[in-house]
């Protein structure tokens, strides 16, 4: 008998019919004698719908109020599943983030978990009740509702699994595991039987939304046994595990793409010491995460500085950067949203050379221009035109030998 945390994502609870199927799975696990905690997302599309509503009310919605609004999506699904289970004679109870005691900082819409009390969950488990927990939400020290960033129900599940020392945290979703690339973009992608926390963290941070990156970070830190499975079909999924010796033999484990980036260029920046700090200091103070930075060769003591930021931060960043440009006597500011980042990830890159060169060659053969490059020990990313992303991902997937063979283990 094990203690399991099950998390069902938006598509898995997207209709009443699907909620019935989740109830079937929960009933089955209970029937097998397991103790179970269930974490749910809002119905698919609901969080987006709420965000659109907010923007119809005002251009820059207040972030505290945004969290109040967004947290409602998950309340709907937890109540419906608990009702359904109780209707079947299974003792289940729904709990909000506040009731679970998920305490976060006050960074509304992207709050970080500070601690998880989970007293009521332990109590429920002791009484044989199945707790059905609202994902994605917590409260700050003032008891204001916070949310954990998009995809944050994964984090709720992992954090609860860590707090309860669960035997396994299973993320049920609309694909049957973690693939060498998003199977909806690269049809030749293959399901992996296992992947290291480190590689999954890179993939998730670089755009593979099958797991929220913070949830992977948390799972690695607290050694949470994590698995991704399909909520629609039975069968094997993917285990996220500690790195083992096999993994280094494969140079590239996955290809991923990210469309949620934007590029900002400050044109005609005076090239003198201290300028970079004057540009990036205020941007960091505004909590805008800068990813890649490129400074062009200086001509006549003037240079161009380009950098990428999350697309969602563009409105905030543009007005700020325009102010900075004026302060430092730069000529102008140019902004483009039509970029994307394509990345290769693999722990094998530590021991294999030539990956970057091959990546550039593949992109060049596809006639795709590279605007920016960044590398770390186990990843290489290139910024390219957004319209080329799918083509780039497919070509790289093929060139690095990832196209469909027998599943890699
Ligand atoms: P949920 O609503 O269940 O949380 P998400 O939409 O957040 O589901 O994540 C599942 C999706 O992640 C898949 O439908 C797939 O398109 C996408 N995805 C991106 N990269 C990968 C990958 N490497 N392996 C599997 N799925 C991926
Ligand atoms: N409902 C939230 C979102 O759409 C959280 C989640 O689904 O994990 O981002
Ligand atoms: Mg998700």
SS3 track for 229-260: EECCCCCCCEEEECCCHHHHHCCCCEEEEECC
97 CB near ligand 2 (under 6 Å): no
Radius of gyration of the chain (CA): 23
**Under a CB-based contact definition with an 8 Å cutoff, are residues 153 and 130 in contact?**
no
Q: Which atom of ligand 1 is nearest to 173's Cα?
A: 3
Residue 392's pLDDT is what? 98
Q: Which ligand is nearest to the CA of 137?
A: 2
pLDDT tens digits, one per residue of 305-357: 999 999 988 988 999 999 999 999 999 999 999 999 999 999 989 888 899 99
User: Which ligand 1 atom sits nearest the alpha carbon of residue 185?
Assistant: 16
Q: How far is CA 273 from CA 38, 302, 333, 366, in A?
A: 54, 12, 20, 39
Which atom number of ligand 2 is nearest to the Cα of residue 153? 8
Atom of ligand 2 nearest to the CA of 48: 4
**pLDDT value for 217:** 97
Of the given ranges (10-24, 29-43, 138-152, 288-302), which has the lowest mean pLDDT?
288-302
pLDDT tens sequence across 98-117: 999 999 999 999 999 999 99
Look at residue 254 and tell me whether its pLDDT is greater than 50. Answer: yes
Query: Could you tell me the distance, in angstroms and rounded to a whole number, from the CA of residue 48 to the centre of ligand 2?
Result: 9
Residue nearest to atom 10 of ligand 1 (CA): 210
For residues 238 and 228, the answer to whether their CB atoms sit within 8 Å is yes
**Sequence-separated (6 or more) residues with CB below 8 Å from residue 192:** 177, 178, 179, 180, 238, 253, 254, 407, 408, 409
**Helix crossing, 63-70 with 46-57: angle to 10°?**
140
Q: Which of 187, 162, 204 is nearest to 37 (CA)?
A: 162
Please give the average per-residue pLDDT across 164-188, as a whole number.
97
Span 377-389, pLDDT tens digits: 999 999 999 999 9
CB 84 within 8 A of CB 23: yes
pLDDT at 407 over 60: no
DSSP-derived letter for residue 313 is: G
pLDDT, residue 59, reads: 86
**Is 14 close to ligand 2, i.e. is its CB under 6 Å away?**
no
pLDDT at 408 over 80: no
Q: Which residue's CA is the nearest one to ligand 2's atom 9?
A: 150
Looking at the domain that runs over 3-174, which CATH code has it been given?
Answer: 3.40.1160.10
The mean per-residue pLDDT over the stretch 163-182 comes to: 98
- Residue 405: the pLDDT is 59
Pairing of strands 238-241, 194-196: parallel
Is the per-residue pLDDT at 247 higher than 90?
no
Structure tokens that stand for 73 in this block: 């999506």
Tokens encoding 80? 């419906």
- Which of 45, 187, 209, 240 is the pocket-test mutation for ligand 1 (most atoms within 8 Å of CB)? 209
**Residues near 313 by beta carbon (within 8 Å), at least 6 away in sequence:** 262, 288, 289
Residue 234 has pLDDT above 60, yes or no: yes
pLDDT > 90 fraction of the chain, expressed in percent and rounded: 89
* pLDDT surpasses 80 at 119: yes
Query: What is the whole-number distance in angstroms between the Cα of residue 370 and the centre of ligand 1?
Result: 26
Does the structure show a pLDDT above 60 at 409?
Answer: no
* Alpha carbon nearest to ligand 1 atom 4, residue: 9
Cβ of 11 closer than 6 Å to ligand 1, yes or no, is: yes
β-pair partners for 339: 385
Q: How far apart are CA 58 and CA 376, in angstroms?
A: 40
Q: Does the beta carbon of 173 lie inside 6 Å of ligand 2?
A: no
pLDDT-based confidence at residue 16 (cuts at 50, 70, 90): very high
Place of tokens 């707090």: 163
Is this prediction's pTM over 0.95?
no
Confidence of residue 246 (pLDDT cuts 50, 70, 90): confident
CA distance 11 to 133: 17
Of 278, 288, 208, 279, which is closest to residue 240 (Cα–Cα)?
Answer: 208
For residue range 21-55, list pLDDT tens digits in order: 999 999 999 999 999 999 999 999 999 999 999 99
């Amino acid at each position: 008998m094990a203690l399991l945390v099950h998390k069902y994502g938006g598509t898995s609870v997207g209709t009443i019919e699907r909620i019935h199927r989740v109830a079937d799975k929960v009933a089955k696990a209970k029937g097998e004698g397991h103790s179970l905690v269930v974490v749910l997302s809002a119905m698919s599309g609901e969080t987006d719908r709420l965000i659109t509503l907010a923007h119809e009310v005002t251009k820059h919605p207040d972030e505290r109020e945004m969290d109040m609004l967004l947290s409602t999506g998950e309340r709907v699904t937890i109540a419906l599943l608990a009702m359904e289970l109780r209707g079947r004679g299974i003792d289940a109870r729904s709990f909000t983030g506040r009731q679970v005691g998920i305490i976060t900082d006050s960074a509304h819409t992207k709050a970080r978990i500070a601690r998880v009390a989970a007293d009521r969950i332990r109590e429920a488990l002791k009484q044989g009740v199945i707790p059905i927990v609202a994902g994605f939400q917590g409260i700050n020290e003032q008891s204001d509702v916070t949310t954990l960033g998009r995809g944050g129900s994964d984090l709720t599940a992992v954090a609860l699994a860590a707090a309860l020392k669960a035997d396994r945290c299973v993320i049920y979703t609309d694909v049957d595991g973690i693939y060498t690339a998003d199977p909806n973009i690269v049809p030749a992608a293959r399901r992996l039987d296992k992947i290291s926390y480190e590689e999954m963290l890179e993939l998730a941070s670089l755009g593979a939304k099958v797991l929220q990156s913070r949830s992977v970070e948390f799972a690695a830190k607290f050694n949470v046994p994590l698995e991704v499975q399909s909520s629609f079909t039975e069968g094997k999924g993917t285990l996220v595990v500690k790195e083992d010796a096999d993994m280094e033999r494969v140079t590239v484990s996955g290809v991923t793409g990210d469309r949620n980036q934007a590029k900002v260029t400050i044109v005609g920046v005076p090239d003198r010491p201290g300028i970079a700090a004057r540009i990036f200091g205020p941007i960091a103070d505004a909590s805008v995460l800068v990813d890649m930075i490129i400074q062009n060769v200086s001509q006549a003591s003037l240079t161009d500085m380009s950098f990428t930021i999350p697309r969602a931060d563009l409105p905030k960043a543009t007005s700020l950067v325009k102010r900075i440009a004026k302060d430092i006597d730069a000529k102008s500011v140019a902004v483009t949203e039509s970029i994307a980042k394509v990345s290769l990830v693999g722990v094998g890159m530590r021991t294999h050379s030539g990956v970057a060169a091959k990546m550039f060659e593949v992109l060049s053969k596809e006639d795709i221009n590279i605007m920016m490059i960044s590398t770390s020990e186990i990843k290489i990313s290139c910024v390219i035109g957004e319209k080329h992303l799918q083509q780039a991902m497919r070509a790289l997937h093929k060139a690095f030998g990832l196209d469909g063979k027998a599943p890699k283990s």
